[in-house]
Amino acid sequence: MPAVKKPTALHVIEGTYRADRHEHDEPKPRPLMPACPVGLKGEAAKCWKRLAPICYRMGTLTEADGEAFTALCISWADMIHNYRIVEDWKKRSRAKSKENGSMYLGAVAKTQTGYLQQIPEVAMMRQAMKEFRSWCGQFGLTPSARTGIIVGGDDSEDDMENLLSGR
C-alpha cells in the first residue's frame, strides 16, 4: 500500500517544500476556518472546538477540509464513548469479583458456552483509535507528523503565504 501524500501545508511548515516535487496546479483552498457543523454534538463538538483553532493556526485546516475534520472529531467521540463503556465494564467486573471472591477479568465476558471473550467495545475503541490517529496525521496533530516543523516568529504566516503565492 503506497504512503499517503503529506499535505503541502505540512511540507511548508516543516521546511521540506520543494516546488519541483509538488503539483503546480494543486488546488489551494482559501485559508478560512470552517464553522463547526450544526449537527456535531457532545465529545465530537468539544474536539472540534479544541483542535480546529490549532489546525487553522498551523495552516492544515482550510475551508475545504471541514468534512474531513468532522470525521476526525467523530472518530474521537467514538473512541471516548467506547472507552467509557470499557472502563465502566471493568469497574463493575472488579466490584463483582470482590463481592463473590472470583478472579477479576477486566473487559472480558463469559459466553453462554462458558468461554471467555473480550467485550466488543474494546475492538470498537481500538478501531476508532486507528481512525483518529490516521486523521491526526492528515492534520499534523501527531508528534511524527510535526517532526521537523520549523517554528518561526510572528512573520511565519507571511513567509508561508509568500512561498505559496510565488513571491
Domain ranges, ordered by start, for the chain: 8-16+30-165
Instruction: Render each residue's pLDDT in the chain as its tens digit; 167 residues.
Output: 566 677 777 777 778 888 787 666 667 788 889 999 999 999 999 999 999 999 999 888 999 999 999 999 999 999 999 999 999 999 988 888 888 777 777 888 888 888 889 999 999 999 999 999 999 988 889 888 777 554 444 444 555 565 555 55
Angle at 134 between CA 74 and CA 80, to 5 degrees: 35
| Grid cell listed for 132 | 483518529
Cα of 143 vs its chain's centroid, Å: 12
* Adjacent-strand bridge partners of 34: none
Q: Which spans in the chain are helix H?
A: 8-14, 42-58, 66-100, 120-138, 156-165
pTM above 0.75, yes or no: no
3-class secondary-structure state, position 7: coil
